[in-house]
Amino acid sequence: MSMILSASVVRVRDGLPLSASTDYDQSTGMQECRKYFKMLSKKLSQLPDRCTLKTGQYNINFISSLGVSYMMLCTENYPSVLAFCFLDELQKEFITTYNMMKTNTAIRPYCFIEFDNFIQRTKQRYNNTRSLSTKMNLADMQTEIKLRPPYQISVSELGSANGFSHISVGEYKNTGKISAAPHQRLEPVTLPGIVSFVLSLLCGALNLIRGFHAIESLLQNEGEDFSYVIAFFLGTVACLYQCYLFVYYTGWRNAKSFLTFGLICLCNMYLYELRNLWQLFFHVTVGAFSTLQIRLRQPQGKSPDYNV
**86-109 pLDDT per residue, tens:** 899 999 999 999 988 888 888 888
Q: Is residue 269 part of a domain?
A: yes
CATH number at residue 135: 3.30.450.50
At 205, is the secondary structure helix, strand, or coil? helix
154 and 195 fall within a common domain: no
Q: Please compute, for residue 184, the number of CA atoms within 13 A of its CA located in the half-sphere on the CB side.
A: 16
Domain that holds residue 251: 191-296
DSSP 261-299: HHHHHHHHHHTTTTS-HHHHHHHHHHHHHHHHHHHHSPB
Q: Which residues contact 141 (CB under 8 A, 6 or more apart)?
A: 81, 84, 85, 88
Confidence of residue 180 (pLDDT cuts 50, 70, 90): very low
Select from 83, 52, 67, 93 the least CA-distant residue to 15: 67
At 308 the pLDDT is 40
Q: What is the pLDDT of residue 160?
A: 46
Please tell me the predicted confidence (pLDDT) of residue 159: 61
Query: Rounded distance, CA 195 to CA 23, Å?
Result: 47
Q: 122-161, pLDDT tens digit by residue?
A: 888 888 866 665 555 677 777 887 888 888 887 777 764 4
**Helix 135-147 and helix 80-97, axial crossing angle in degrees, nearest 10:** 110
In this structure, the answer to whether residues 240 and 152 fall within a common structural domain is: no
CB 14 within 8 A of CB 303: yes
How far apart (Å, rounded) are the C-alpha atoms in residues 264 and 253? 17
User: Is residue 13 located within the same domain as residue 128?
Assistant: yes
Q: What is the pLDDT of residue 269?
A: 92
Same domain, 235 and 102: no
Under DSSP, is residue 151 helix (H, G, I), strand (E, B) or coil?
A: strand
**What is the pLDDT confidence band of residue 24, given thresholds at 50, 70 and 90?**
low
**Residue 266, domain member (yes or no):** yes
Residue length of the chain: 308
Is the same domain home to 8 and 154?
yes
pLDDT band for position 171 (cuts 50, 70, 90): very low
Q: Is residue 146 part of a domain?
A: yes
Mean pLDDT within 226-240: 91
Amino acid, single-letter form, for residue 223 = G
Residue 33, Cβ density class (10 Å: 0-12 exposed, 13-18 middle, ≥19 buried): buried
In the chain, % of residues over pLDDT 90: 31
Query: 253 with 141, same domain?
Result: no
d(CA 256, CA 242): 9
Output the average pLDDT for the chain: 81
Q: Which residue has the higher pLDDT, 22 or 220?
A: 220
In a domain, 214, yes or no: yes
Residue 185 in any domain: the answer is: no
Residues 230 and 102 in one domain: no
Q: Tell me what pLDDT residue 266 has.
A: 94
Please tell me the distance from the alpha carbon of residue 295 to that of residue 289, in angstroms, as a whole number.
10
Q: Is the pLDDT higher at 69 or at 55?
A: 69
pLDDT band at 69 (very low <50, low <70, confident <90, very high): very high
Determine how many CB atoms are found less than 10 A away from the CB of residue 264.
Answer: 27
- φ and ψ at 166, to 5 degrees? -70, 135
199-212 average pLDDT score: 93
Residue 116 lies in a domain: yes
Mean pLDDT of 269-274: 89
Higher pLDDT, 285 or 308: 285
**∠ CA(26), CA(89), CA(21), 5° rounding?**
20
DSSP 13: T
| Same domain as 243, residue 147 | no
Beta-ladder partners of 10:
17, 69
**Are 289 and 234 found together in one domain?**
yes
% of the chain exceeding 70 in pLDDT? 81
Structure confidence at residue 216 as a pLDDT band (50, 70, 90): confident
Q: How confident is the model at residue 293 (pLDDT cuts 50, 70, 90)?
A: very high
Domain count, the chain: 2
Q: Is residue 26 part of a domain?
A: yes
Q: pTM of the entire structure? A: 0.52
Do 91 and 152 sit in the same domain of this protein?
A: yes
What Å distances lie between residue 7 and 90, 184, 213, 248, 277, CA to CA?
9, 26, 60, 31, 61
303 occurs within a structural domain? no
Which residues, 6 or more positions from 103, have their beta carbon under 8 angstroms from its beta carbon?
Answer: 11, 18, 67, 68, 112
Same domain (yes/no): 116, 33: yes
Structure confidence at residue 267 (pLDDT): 92
Poorest-pLDDT segment among 31-35, 160-164, 252-256: 160-164
Of 122, 160, 153, the residue nearest 59 (C-alpha) = 153
Q: How many CB atoms lie within 10 A of CB 210?
A: 21
Q: Are residues 39 and 139 in the same domain?
A: yes
**307 pLDDT band (50/70/90 cuts)?**
very low
User: Is the pLDDT confidence value at 221 over 70?
Assistant: yes
SS3 130: helix
- Please say if the pLDDT value at position 262 is more than 60: yes
Give Cα 210 distance to the centre of its chain.
36
How many CA atoms are closer than 13 Å to the CA of 189, on its beta-carbon side? 14
